[in-house]
Chains A and B, each alone.
Chain A
Amino acid sequence: MPNMLWLQGGACSGNTMSFLNAEEPSACDLVTDFGINVLWHPSLGLELGENLQKMLNGLVSGEIPLDIFVFEGSVVNAPNGTGQWNRFAGRAMKDWVSDLCKVAGYVVAVGDCATWGGIPATAPNPSDSQGLQFLKRSHGGYLGTGYTSKAGLPVINVPGCPAHPDWITQIVVAVATGRGGELTLDEFQRPKTFFTSFTQTGCTRNMHFAYKVSATEFGQRKGCLFYDLGCRGPMTHSPCNRILWNRQSSKTRAGMPCMGCTEPEFPFFDLAPGTVFKTQTVMGVPKDMPTGVDKSGYIKLTAAAKAASPRWAEEDIFVV
């Protein structure tokens, strides 16, 4: 029976909420169907005070095997590298993280804060936050570039703000059932099975993207959100339109631009005013192109596609 421990650093609990909403498999399925022993979790753990400390010390000493260590939230180093702004069970959380990562079979970072630092690490980063093995795009993070868990893998990064519930539980099940070795990770240590395709893959507004018809206001039932409303779907790696949220929809299907939350730079442009829901342009051309597309190709394609667009593409259509 694999033991799983879930701790929370500089976090809003969004990934905990996401995890508790998982469906395929659910958090209960982890226990009943896959035999995972949830040692402790911020919302599910029963142990308190000295009992919790005793359990954590038992894990650090090796007395209790730690098969899967899930970490949510940033590693807080402030003030002055002590980590005392984020204390847990009698000591700085970062010290527990150091000790637990040394003994863990697998380490899974869940959500942007644990993977790249996320919103807490946005400039000026007052909490001196880091992700477990990245700080934004920079490899290293709190554990350093060379870190591998006992199973020989680096930290498995499951980003998102929050991560989709089923990305979390499916990765936990994979490592709990001995299939961790089959995981292939991308350059940012994200499982390729989830993070090779784009948010745009499966978007119901793809035909508007193709015909270069733009949504210009929220709530429109036509138009692509990339051209004017700041959608990052064409350059964000996530399966949000393949593995739907609540099994029903996605941000873009509901008319909300993708904010690129599975990418290390999130939140983009450090949340400067006017940058979140507005496509940034230079001389009228988008600053960030769809991945793999160059400026001259984009301009040629746009002119041709727009000229060829059918009348229906300009009218309301049910894209939700």
Chain B
Amino acid sequence: MRENNDKDTRETIATLLVSGFPTEAFPRADSHEMILDIVARLHALPDDLAQKLTVAGFTPEPVDIDGLSQSCETCMYYLVHQRFCELPELLLPVEPEWSCRLWRI
């Protein structure tokens, strides 16, 4: 059941991102304080997909910072086989080449 839902949600997100949906991809969450701030904002959101994508700063392609490619694929919150972001404040189906500013390795 979740797989079907995930597929639909993933496609919805992909359509949004590819169409240029504006998100807060920058500044990246470089410091611990910024991470706490963004996570707190996510925590306070209603269950609204577009707002989650905006605050987390999703992009349809990896963002390179200091030679590091910040893609979902290498992020600690990413479940490889489920193509799923397990950050409790997001819990979203994603694609490996996407990125968000809460990326951590």
Contact = CB atoms under 8 A, between A and B. Distances in A.
A293 interface: no
Given A279-B104, A284-B28, A284-B65, 8 more contacts: A212-B76, A214-B77, A227-B76, A274-B32, A281-B32, A282-B30, A283-B30, A284-B30
Contact of A306 (B29, B68, B74, B104): B74
A311 interface: yes
A299 B32 contact: no
Given A274-B36, A303-B74, A282 B31 contact: yes
Contacts of B78: 306
B81 A311 contact: yes
Q: A-B pairs with the 8 shortest C-beta distances?
A: A214-B76, A311-B81, A227-B76, A284-B104, A314-B79, A303-B74, A216-B86, A284-B103
Q: Max chain A CB contacts within 10 Å: which of B36, B78, B80? A: B80
Interface string A272-301: 001100111111111000000000001100
Interface residues of A, number: 27
B73 interface: yes
Interface in B10-40: 28-32, 35-36
Interface string A202-220: 0000000000111011000
Contacts of A311: 81
A311 B73 CA distance: 15
Contact of A299 (B35, B68, B88): B68
Interface in B70-105: 70, 73-74, 76-82, 86-88, 103-105
A284 B31 contact: no
* Secondary structure of the B contact surface, majority rule: loop
B66 interface: yes
Interface range on chain B: under 10, 10 to 19, 20 to 34, or 35 or more?
20 to 34
Given A283-B65, A299-B68, A314-B82, A216 B87 contact: yes
A284 B32 contact: no
Interface string B28-60: 111110011000000000000000000000000
Contact of B68 (A275, A280, A284, A314): A284
B88 A283 contact: no
B2 to A, nearest CB: 13
Nearest to B31: A282
A197 interface: no
A311 B78 CA distance: 12
A309 interface: yes
B15 to A, nearest CB: 26
A227 B104 contact: yes
24 contacts: A214-B77, A216-B87, A217-B88, A227-B104, A228-B76, A282-B30, A282-B31, A283-B66, A284-B30, A284-B65, A284-B68, A284-B103, A284-B105, A285-B68, A298-B105, A302-B74, A302-B105, A303-B73, A306-B74, A306-B78, A306-B80, A309-B80, A311-B81, A314-B80
